[in-house]
Structure 1
Amino acid sequence: MLTFLHAADIHLDSPLRGLEVYQDAPVEQIRWAARRAFDNLIDLAIDEEVAFFLLAGDLYDGDWKDYNTGIYFVNRMGRLREAGIPVFMVSGNHDAASQITRALNLPDNVTLFSHKKVETRILDHLGVAVHGQSFSSRAVTDDLTRHYPQGDPGLFNIGLLHTSLNGRPGHESYAPCTLDALRSKGYQYWALGHVHQREEIARDPWVVFPGNIQGRHIRETGAKGCTLVSVDDGQVVAVEQRDLDVLRWSLCRLDLGKCDKTESLPEMVREALEIGREEAEGRPLAVRLVLEGTTALHGRLHENSAHWHEEFRAVAASLGDVWLEKILFNTLKEQLPFEDFEDDSPLAALRKSVEGLHFESSRLLDLHSDFEQLRTKLPAELLGDDDPFSPGEEELAALREEVKELLMARMQQGGRHAY
């Protein structure tokens, strides 16, 4: 029986985003998180005595600031060389964007597949064939699998590929392909990369996204790591997720539907954060706290949001390595305000307009050209998977509700004075 490791989307030296505003943030964990997670990956490969090691793209995060990133990687590959572990890798869209990457001399135990054509490496002593092709540019829109060869029936065939498959939310459509196309090649395992959330697409054959090894922002929550695969008599007999991350991101939703006393809020938040802390298994934890539900506390929360921000941050700080990345007040009021207003009064009409407020797509698109001009002037490190100019549905919904609540509060104050 043999074992091998499958990892992807390392993004070496990519910064963690969302905690920089806090003076007490875990600076060292933020700065070196990707390297520490990668060290965990190298240690795992050596401890498990794997037969070989697969990297399915996006080892780097674009151009390096200097050669230190590359020197670090070569050093870690040297550790695998000393352990007798060969490495097979393809470049992904972020790797292809780096000019320095192409000039890096790799140790002789590392095979970087060509970006010009599909290549095959056969490990005769293991009865294994690894097929792969790197990205030639940042945006590869062709189906690379069309040129992958048919699997050798006498070998255990692995396809190494950086791809969005048939599309995944939050990821660009690079090297798209279908599950049927992968199956048609007759391989026993497809080692995919590009999608940062772990996903087992299929088991006949095995088609796996291992996810990235370290979450970098709040859109990459939960355990992060690699996949350890065991093979016996030419068949996959075990596929295991192994966690590698050194700081974990968590989305904590707290329903206040049954809470009617503000005095109860700190303890409720504490209990919720303690659950997340237990799930992180001793790792530092970055949390986005979302307060939701229909509650009598709705108005008081919004009126004193600054106070509650600091109150909840203090609760998190008291737990040790827990930081609140953001706090969202998404609660709903128990009843609509201004019920006593006459239906034909100006305030009643204004109330209805505010309650029906929507951010229509067409109106947002009207602002696109202005935002795009500003976006092109920003440094590359501010953009990427968590591009602030590409807000998700949750961010837009939260923004809409905050605007409505602000208008409602102003109207209510004005209504009281008018009447």
Structure 2
Amino acid sequence: MNKQKISKIIAKKTSLYLKISMSLFVLSLVLLTTAVIFVQQQYMQLRKDFVDNSNTHIISVSRVQGDKPNITYPLSFEDKENINGIIENYNGTSVFSEYVIPFGISDTNDKTYFIEAVDNRFLEHSGIKKINDNEAIVSNELNEKKVTLKIPHINVEDGGFTSDYRTDFDLSFIPTSTIQSPFDEFDIKPDTIIVNTKTFEKIIETMYQVSWEEFQKNSIAENPYGIEVFDEINVYVADLKNIKKVADQLRNQYEINYVLGAFEDLQSSLNRSYTIYALLLIFILIVTGINTIISFRGYLYSMQKDMGIFRHYGYSCSQVYNIYKSLIITPYVKIVGIVAIYSFVISLILLKQDFIKSFVLAFVLIVFFVGIILISLLRILKKLSKKEIIILLKQSKEVE
């Protein structure tokens, strides 16, 4: 008789207990692959929200702490140098300034604007389109495409400002809706315009009739200009592992704010939870796998009489082994196929275009666990098929 037909006939004798054990094993595999894909989705979301999100890498320094509680002072060029010294030992850490002119400047139509400035390198870290010289990002509420500011030439007298001359300064406006990423770092009001640092330097040079280098130098020495131009100093930390260390050092001297301040232990807590979850599922899978092996082993031992009869009628050890081998391999190949299809669908639903890596990982786990069981069962079968005929028949009666 054909080997495959014999295998099909023998397969009909499969016990209900064995079928239940295999069903539980399938369920365990489904749970494991679901957990793997779910954890991968959470990990990818975590990377997107924290690791790959430029905002989580930024520490904003806003004020200098005073000697007494609740006393703070505006930032200065000296503070920028000090912060550069604090971060110099951390690779990939940079300092970027946000400037502001603390009073409004009118245009040729007597409309007043408040000017802020940011470094283009900071924008690049945030994934935002850079601002060209003589351009300004403005609120979508502004209809103007260009404006000509009347920059006053300022004289500081007795703590006050006077100006008897103004210079026209042309700017092109870029609505926030046209830039590459949401401009969340700034609160852009209808009367606020944001320029790059080069344009800001030109405006300051026009206002005080000095070079930017001289303006910085004099501001550190005695600040004869009557204004502080720093709004914030942003520290960009490339490696998130360093962000708490940098923040702690800055906090000793400055008022700071950073996104991960409220989530410092979030990643480690999630990693612990995912590890426990994964270990628990693997433990369940191992227990179910062992139970399946024991059940299939009992099934094979109950088939010793049939093996002995095949051997008695002239079947060789290898022929008996091949007959029963298909009984073991066929159901587990089906299990791999069913769970692989399930994993593919779930990966596609949860991860969409990023599903390949998670599906491959889940598939490897499926093949790994099923492979271990198959190797174990085939070794048991090989050992049984090589027994003497009289021993097979004798032991089958003992099993009965």
Question: Which range, TM-score by smaller chain?
Answer: under 0.3
Q: Which has the greater radius of gyration? A: 2
**Looking at both structures, which has the greater relative contact order when contacts are Cα pairs under 8 Å and sequence separation is at least 6?**
2
Higher helix content, 1 or 2: 2
